[in-house]
Amino acid sequence: MLTDKKTQKRYREIKCPHLNTQPTAYTNAQGGRCVYIQCPDCGGIVDNVRKTGYNFDKLPLFDDYFRQAQKEARREIYLRIWDEEREKEL
């Protein structure tokens, strides 16, 4: 199992700290509208907040394509780290 401190550090280094966030408008498949706080660096959803206090129609749209692309990129990095660490164990 890859639980050594060096491997854990490498995983933490590629995990986004969500230092920059912005409210975004999201409309789900049923037509429900909500405000997601999205990280523009990784595309991740940081929070789901009430629409109160936000002008929904003026918010930037939630970018799910960017979120998915960033998620896949991080997955590739995780797999590469996993493979490198596994090779070291053999």
Can you give the pLDDT at residue 1? 45
Give the C-alpha separation, 44 to 67, whole Å.
Answer: 6
What are the pLDDT tens digits along the chain (90 aa)? 445 666 666 666 677 888 999 999 999 899 999 999 999 988 889 998 988 889 999 999 999 999 999 888 888 888 887 788 778 776
- The pTM assigned to this predicted structure is 0.70
Domain extents in the chain: 19-89
**Closest-CA residue to 38 (of 61, 54, 15, 14):** 61
